[in-house]
Structures are given as C-alpha cells and as structure tokens.
Structure 1
Amino acid sequence: MRIIKVLLPLLLLAVFSIYLRINYESLPVAVGSAMQFLPFLLAALALLFTVYFNQGRLLHLSVLLLLLFIALGQAWLEPTVHLTVVGVLLPLLILLLMLLPEQGVTTGRAFAVHAVVLISLAFMWWLTDHEPAWLNDYLMHDWLPVRYFDWTAVPQTVWMSGILVFLCLLMLLALRQDVITTAGLGVVIVTMLLLHEQMHEISRVVFTSAAFLLLLFSVLQLSWRMAYLDELTGLPGRRALREKLRGLMGIYTIAMVDVDHFKKFNDRYGHDTGDEVLRMVAAKLKQVPGGGSAFRYGGEEFTLVFPGKGIDDAKPYAEAVRETIANSAFVINRQSGGKKPSSKNKTAQITVSVGLADSITNASTDATLKQADKALYKAKKRGRNRVSV
C-alpha cells in the first residue's frame, strides 16, 4: 500500500532515533560532542534545499522546528505559560500549513503564507509576554483528573492539542498519501517529544536531528518526483525511460503506445477531458502484466518496456492491455470542456495502437525504440486499435 510507503521513512527514523537515544551514552566522546552541532547542520541543509526546490511548506516546518530547538536550548520557554502557549498553538499552526496548498517560496501567495506564519509567531510571543487572564482559565486548566498526567510536566491542554493535530494529520495522510503530510506528522510528533523532554539535551539533539533528516528526505523525494515522474499521469517520464533503457541488457521488448484520434477527441471535448483520457490510459498501462514497465513518452504517447522478453513473449501482454483499454467505457463530462454542457454524461470508447520491437533484431536501445515507433505507425495505417511488429 502507498500509505505504508510514505510512512516508511518516518517509521525508520523513529526506530533509529529511539535506538540512538537509548545508546547515546555509549558513543565515543568525540562523536557525542560533534552530535551537538548536527541539528544546526541539518537545519541549514533543510533550509537551503527547501528554498532551492521552492517547497514553501517544508521551509516553514524547518523554520518552526529550528526556532523550537533554539528556544528550548536557551530556556526561553518557561515550564508554565510559555511552554503551554507554544505547545498548544504550534501544532495547530503546523496543521494549518498542511491544509494550505503548496504556494512555493517567492510567489505572491507564498508571501501571504509567510505573513500568516509570522503573525502566528508574533501572537504566541504576545501571549507569553502579556499573559492575559484567560490563559489560566483555558490553556492552563486541568480538564481531566491530574493522576492521568502525573508522568509528564506538560499541561493537559498541550497534549490535547497535539493529539488532535496528530489524528487530523493521520486522516489527511490517508487521503493524500504524500511525503509533505508525512513530514508534518513527524514534526508534530517531535514537537511533543521536545516539549515533554524539554530540558534534556540529548533528547533535543537526537529527536530534532531525526526530524530534520525527515524534512531533507521529503524535499529530495519531491525533487526526484519532479524530475522523473510525469505530473499529469503519475507515470515515470522520458528521463526515467532513458535511464531504464540504459540499464537494459540481453533480450528485451519495447512497445510504443499511442492514443487513437486523441487530437480530434481533445478538440471536441476539451483539454480537461483529454487529460482524463490520458490518466485513464496511464492507469491501465501501469497494470500491464508480464513484468512490463509503463512510461509517458510525451503527449498522447506512452512506452512499455518488457525486460527479458522477445516480441513473441511480450505481444500477448501488449494485446491484453490494448483490449483492457478498448473495453473500458470512458465517461465524458462535457461540462469541463467542449461546445455545450450536457445534462447527461455519455461514454466513449478509447483505443490505443501499439508498435513492438525487440533487441533480437536491433543492435541498441535507440534502434529498438525507433523500430517500435515505426511499428506503431504501421498499426495506425492498418486501422488503429491493434498491435503491430
């Protein structure tokens, strides 16, 4: 499941950080001393990469985590009011950032998000500086029996805020299944751990370093997705295809796939509907049997690669995926494009043409790709919705 995949970095870092925390005292003195500077080094890298790759939400998470780490290290947060204000409002601010769409770092909308973060931090500072009377009535109030919280110095309201945000982010992660929400979840967990172990230097260093590693992994994974995955279909793009072809050895088959009459369909029903067609075709190609891998080549063209299979072995799988697409009814909602909105949705048959070539009759991957492209045009000339070699 994809949700397990996006949660895996968080789980691995959690296990590693807990193990390191338990065995910290057994580290060599030189390593232990150097570890004190690790959060600042990782913070600098996180800030650099988030700005470079234009990831505003990860930038804000990095800044908030760094400020919390410094504040706890300098004992700026008193165990009562200061810690309670930050502990209640900081997770809520993180949740707000996760709910907002990505706006980048330097766009006009990004500066609006920057302003929201700054205003929120200023509000926290004002509350800790002025300590209005209602703070004790609400934030410092014990809502449950004290005996349930005798294991921690953190007020009950802080734990309630943290648990609420944690559950909300879990639900958001189940819906989105993305690395940014995972990073936000990780920062909230570390925030609660830091507040609980506020005066423990080793815990601050270990858990903060783990959170910054998670943020770095998230921004690098996002940059990889931008470079290698097609944004519209979610399939690996041409760059990923080139790397795949570079690593092929021995016998393999390449299939070039083209959506039939796509330009006419796009002109008639609109680009939004055309995009839905490409997504549908990509989803079917992704499920191609026989160990094939699907890539978006460009426009309405896709590529299938079958390592270890010649044409005779790969052709039945190409036929199978062609038939699957042809037999899948595509529902057209003309309200998103076309000449007139329709009160009723109608269906259309989407078909693809496929050209096959293998390495047995071609000396290189480039030659095989070109031969598959020629076979594709042969399929189109023979009437489309067929596989040709």
Structure 2
Amino acid sequence: MLKTVSALFIPGGLVFCAALGFLRPHGSPPWAQTPISALPPIVLGFGVLFGWYVSSSRLILSLLVLALADRGLLLFPPIDPDPASMGPTVFAATAFLLPLNLLALSLVRDEALSTWRGIVRLAPILAQPFLVLWLSLPDQADLARALRQPLLPASLTAWSQVTQPALLAFLGALAMIGVRFACERNPLDAGALWALTASFTALHGLQYGWTPTNFFSAAGLILFLTLVQASHERAYRDELTGLLGKQAYEEALAGLGAKYTVAIVGLDQLKQYGNQHGKPVSEQLLRLVAPKIQAAAGQGQVYRLAGEEITILFPRKTATDTLVTLEAIRKAVDQFEGYVRGERVWEGSRSGTETLPLTASIGVAEAGTGKSSLSLVIKAAYRALYEAKGAGGNVVRRGTVAGEIAKPARAETGRIVAYSEFDA
C-alpha cells in the first residue's frame, strides 16, 4: 500500500503541490519571479529533447498539446469584454479537447515521433487549432454553443468557469487513467493524472487571475520527470516482475568481492502452464510470485535477467549461510495458491477456476576459494538447479565449483589460449 501511494505522489504530486505554493499570484517572492518566468521554455525545450532522445512521442506530443492550449488562451482570453470575441469558444473547445488529448496519448503505445505512427498522431493535434478557429467563426455559432451546453444543473458546477462538457471530459480522463494506474502502477499513468490536475488548475484558475502558462508548465514538468523516472526503472528493473534487472545486476557484479554465493530459482511448472494456457498465464504467475521471492530473500539481492529463472546474489555469504533463506523462498513459492480462468490469473480461491500449484527448484553455489571465476560459480548454480529439477523439483541443491584447468597450447603454434577455452 505504501509503495502504491509513493508511486502515485512522487514526483507528480510533489511538483503539483509546489506549483500551488509558488506559481499562483503572490505565491513566490520577487527574486523568484525571473526564474519562474524562464520555466516554460526550459520545460518545453528539455522535454522535447529528452523525448526525442528516448523515442517518446507521448511526451513530445503532450508538451505540444499543453503549449497549444496555453497559446490559445493567451491569444484569445475568455474574459475579453468584446461580444464578438472568439475567447469563450476557444476556451470551451480547448478545455474540452485538452483532457481527451492527454488521455489518448497516455493510452497509446509509446514510440519515436519519426515513425509513421508518430506522424499519424501528430497530424490531428496540429489540425486541432484550425478546428477551434473554424468553430469560432460566426457561421458556426450553433455548433460552438454545444461546447458550452449545460448537461447538469448549473448549481453543481457554479464553482468553476470550465464548461460542463469539459468538466465531464476531465473527470472521464481522470477515472480511466486512475483505473489503469491502480491495475498496473505505471509511473507514466501517475504522471498523466497529475498533469491533468495541473492542466485543470490552469483553466480553473483563470477566474482568479492565475496565469495558465505556469500551471501548464507544471503539467509538462510532471510528464518530463515521470518519463525520466520510468526510463530509470526500465533500465534498472524488470518490466514484468518489478525486480531488479540486467543493468543493476551487472553493476552489482562489479562490486562483488572474493566471497559470495549465487542462487538460481526456477519455477517447476511455469513452462508447463505456458504451454497449456499460453504465455500470458505464465507471465502473470511469474509476476505474482516474484514479490514473494523478494520478500523471503532477506538480504539477498534478487534479479530477473531473462526467461523463467530468478537470480539471487548473496555478497559476503557462504552457501551454508544462505540455506535457511533459500528454504524460506522454496516454502513461500510452495504456499502460493494460483487460479486461472481463461487467460486471467488470480491469487486466492475463486469459483469456477482451475488451480495452478507452483513449486520452486533452487540451485546454489559459492565462490569458496576466492580463485573461482564468476562464470564457474554461475555454471555450478545452474547445474545444481537442473539436478534439483531432475530430482522432482521443490528442493534446494548445492553445487560444487570445479577448478579451472587450462588447455595447453601446442608449442609449435605459439598461440595464446583464450579464456573461453578453459574448462569448468
């Protein structure tokens, strides 16, 4: 629960609260006004560059949507006293389209803007300013009036200048992205929620004299920071299970001393369930079991590198030191109760479902002498894992690291024996 709340509020919630404190009128001291005025171009520039670098059309197009909304409100203010002003129509159309655009961009698969899909997404966004201007023409007054048409009793929305169709669009977008975040806990969805909140504040605050540019900039900053956070997590964490990933594993290996233990955890029935029910079922099982392995691992560093096995490093530990922990992991997996209906997997009993029992085979090996290479220790752990599976599974087996023996080169060739030619 705490991790979910933290993922929701950091960094998006913190940035939004800071914006409420400092970006509203008289919210910041005079010396801070100049840096604050530089915030919009900085956010837009750095956001576009970073989005291009990481091939995120979602960030680039979201920043474009926010920038167009801001320019539209500044060029056509809704409080213009001129009866023929385009301001009210531009405001109503912008407030209605903004949440729909941010919702759509949060749902599509992210990829480079230079791809044909990125260009297809760019085209309707660039067309929307012309659509809004067309709606503002006197001949389209009846159509534009529909954007301000009350759908509920006026007393329910009297607190906001935002039109009722736009309010419903914001509520619908918040609800859909909120449900997706609750299911997947993706930081990008949390960022989209806070960006929508900041965008609504930009629109709603106009009636109080608040500058919309500041809060649109805050929305862009939230999207930028959450993409940075998500990119970091993708680099260091496995996307499926949330465990530490390959890059974190390689950095940990660089810091290993002469004394350490490696354990490989394999789920005995996972491949069988994948063949029987499909890959999505085996992936869901792995996602559900991974936190239990993480919780039972204690001081062990848990990684998923690829495939169905999970690797655990125990720095400065012997294999004997880790046996109690590995037995706890085995029991945690054995106590897991999985159920499947179709391609959906749950933990816990549900009527009309098929039971999916799971057990774990674990192979463990240590660098006991300090002369064994890491590759030999890992090979020994895998050999022990295969022995555990061959013995029926649901057991911990300890492997022995063989000594390194070099193959001598022929004297007449004079070639150097490569490391790969050493036998385990």
The alignment's TM-score, normalised by the length of structure 2, stands at 0.73
What is the aligned partner in structure 1 of residue 167 from structure 2? 159
State how 1:337-356 maps to structure 2 within 5 Å: 350-356=358-364
State how 1:38-49 maps to structure 2 within 5 Å: 38-49=39-50
> Is 1:388–2:397 an aligned residue pair?
yes
User: Unaligned stretches of 5+ in structure 2?
Assistant: 79-85, 345-351, 399-424
What is the aligned partner in structure 1 of residue 377 from structure 2? 371
> Is 1:124–2:126 an aligned residue pair?
no
Equivalent position SS for 2:361: strand
> Is 1:317–2:325 an aligned residue pair?
yes
Query: Whole-Å Cα distance in 2 between the matches of residues 148 and 269 of structure 1?
Result: 50
Q: Return the match for 2:29 from 15, 26, 30.
A: 26
**Higher normalized contact order (CA 8 Å, seq sep 6+, divided by chain length):** 1
What is the aligned partner in structure 2 of residue 51 from structure 1? 52
Equivalent position SS for 2:189: helix
Note the C-alpha offset of 1:149. Answer: 5.7
What is the aligned partner in structure 1 of residue 66 from structure 2? 65
1:315–1:368 Cα change, 3 Å: farther
What is the aligned partner in structure 2 of residue 254 from structure 1? 262
Maintained 8 Å contact 2:261/2:318: yes
| 1:30-83 Cα shifts (integer Å, max 9, x gaps) | x42243222111111111222222223222211111112233344466542211
1:311–1:218 Cα change, 3 Å: same
State how 1:1-389 maps to structure 2 within 5 Å: 1=1, 2-8=3-9, 9-21=11-23, 24-28=27-31, 31-75=32-76, 78-102=86-110, 104-130=112-138, 132-135=140-143, 137-142=145-150, 152-198=160-206, 203-247=211-255, 253-259=261-267, 275=283, 278-279=286-287, 282-306=290-314, 310-326=318-334, 328=336, 350-357=358-365, 361=368, 363=370, 367=373, 370-381=376-387, 383-384=390-391, 385=393, 386-389=395-398
| 1:204-242 Cα shifts (integer Å, max 9, x gaps) | 343233222211112212222332223344322221112
Equivalent position SS for 2:200: helix
Equivalent position SS for 1:84: helix
Equivalent position SS for 1:163: helix
Maintained 8 Å contact 2:203/2:212: no
Query: Whole-Å Cα distance in 2 between the matches of residues 270 and 148 of structure 1?
Result: 49
Q: Which amino acid aligns with 1:238?
A: K
| 1:281-328 Cα shifts (integer Å, max 9, x gaps) | 535423324243321133333211346754334211211222343455
Query: Whole-Å Cα distance in 1 between the matches of residues 58 and 209 of structure 2?
Result: 27
Equivalent position SS for 1:211: helix
Q: Give the CA RMSD over aligned residues.
A: 3.9
Maintained 8 Å contact 1:355/1:372: no
Query: Whole-Å Cα distance in 1 between the matches of residues 249 and 386 of structure 2?
Result: 23
Maintained 8 Å contact 1:257/1:376: no
Query: Whole-Å Cα distance in 1 between the matches of residues 357 and 381 of structure 2?
Result: 23
Deviates more, 1:349-358 or 1:11-20: 349-358
Aligned residues: percent identity?
Answer: 25
Maintained 8 Å contact 2:73/2:91: no
Bigger radius of gyration, 1 or 2?
Answer: 2
1:197–1:261 Cα change, 3 Å: closer
Query: Whole-Å Cα distance in 2 between the matches of residues 239 and 374 of structure 1?
Result: 23
Q: Which amino acid aligns with 1:222?
A: A
Equivalent position SS for 2:250: helix
Maintained 8 Å contact 1:258/1:353: yes
Deviates more, 1:37-46 or 1:231-240: 231-240
Q: Which amino acid aligns with 2:98?
A: L
Maintained 8 Å contact 1:237/1:296: yes
Deviates more, 1:10-19 or 1:156-165: 156-165
Query: Whole-Å Cα distance in 1 between the matches of residues 166 and 285 of structure 2?
Result: 48
Greater per-residue helix proportion: 1
| 1:6-44 Cα shifts (integer Å, max 9, x gaps) | 32122111221122135644141xx42243222111111
1:188–1:378 Cα change, 3 Å: closer
Query: Whole-Å Cα distance in 2 between the matches of residues 131 and 183 of structure 1?
Result: 39
Equivalent position SS for 1:133: helix
Maintained 8 Å contact 1:260/1:352: yes
Query: Whole-Å Cα distance in 2 between the matches of residues 205 and 137 of structure 1?
Result: 26
Note the C-alpha offset of 1:197. Answer: 3.2
Equivalent position SS for 1:294: strand
| 1:100-122 Cα shifts (integer Å, max 9, x gaps) | 44455333333333334344444
Note the C-alpha offset of 1:145. Answer: 6.2
The alignment's TM-score, normalised by the length of structure 1, stands at 0.79
Q: Which amino acid aligns with 2:114?
A: T
Query: Whole-Å Cα distance in 1 between the matches of residues 229 and 397 of structure 2?
Result: 38
1:289–1:233 Cα change, 3 Å: closer
Query: Whole-Å Cα distance in 1 between the matches of residues 328 and 366 of structure 2?
Result: 18
